[in-house]
Amino acid sequence: MTRRAHLATAALAALIATSTAFGACAPVTSLLTLFPSRGEIALGGAERVMIEDGAGAIETIRARSPGARKEAARAIVLRFYGNADRADGGPASEAEGFGAWPVEVWGVNYPGFGRSEGSASLRGVARAADVALAKADERGVPIFAMGTSMGTTAALHLAATGKVRGVMLQNPPPLAQLIRGRYGWWNLWLVAAPISWGVPASLDSLANAKRATMPVVVLSSEHDEIVPFDYQTEIYEAYAGPKARLVAKGAAHNDRLPDAVWDEVRRKLREQGWGP
């Protein structure tokens, strides 16, 4: 074997060893993609309800729409937030947006976030979604799922089960593909590839989108610097069920979108059965 062949073999062995070390360490991926917090955040009039689970209780923040304050809720919307965000402050204002539709919005905090028990992990994101779905299913009403950014991985995880009636996704990342494509070039994929392998199959958004058959509305920020538009397009094109897409022109990932955009989102959702 030539010296060049020896060097090539050694390089390949080093790559395999590095990949194996990182790929077997899913906690590294969780550490780099999740930013949990525990501090108290005002609920804005919503209600905190803990769901007991053998692996650790999951915190939900629940709010009723104006319609659900007049009669029993006819649906539940499971709401999932981003990797550095919390459910605490969102459901109260979001429930107001559903108006006369008698619906409860359940914001779900992942393990490590708020009062949800356990350590933050990507597997915990999927578990929190499963726990909330199982509890909501006890009510015997239609269940819908909404997700923003990282929260879309949880929403698509539930969509793939076929147990939700409709899905709304805002700036959805195909997480593993985004890690490799966005952050792999500068390290020749020696770091990015193994880290992407730490994304659990339960949060493979492209695979889950291909299995989802209920209607979806996708809202994409045109100039998203965190989840570039083309990556969001991969999710939209992979989605198997009826779909509609809205583009927030000129918006970045965390920009506050105009009320007119949300009015259009709600109109699309009503067309897909999100309403009386």
Q: Tell me what percent of the residues of the chain surpass a pLDDT of 90.
A: 79
**For residue 273, is pLDDT > 90?**
yes
CA dist., res. 41 & res. 265, Å (int): 27
DSSP 31-98: HHH-----S----TT-EEEEE--TT--EEEEEEE-TGGGTS--SEEEEEE--TT--STTSHHHHHHTT
Q: What would the mean pLDDT of 95-123 be, rounded to a whole number? A: 97
The pair phi, psi for residue 36, each rounded to 5°, is -75, 160
**pLDDT tens digits, 27-43:** 778 888 899 999 999 99
Task: Give the integer Cα–Cα distance in Å for 155 and 69.
Answer: 26
Weakest mean pLDDT among 41-45, 65-69, 179-183: 179-183
pLDDT in tens, 236-254: 999 999 999 999 999 999 9
Q: Global pTM?
A: 0.89
Residue ranges and CATH numbers for the domains of the chain are: 3-271 (3.40.50.1820)
**Which of 266, 233, 226, 267 lies closest to 247, judged by CA?**
233
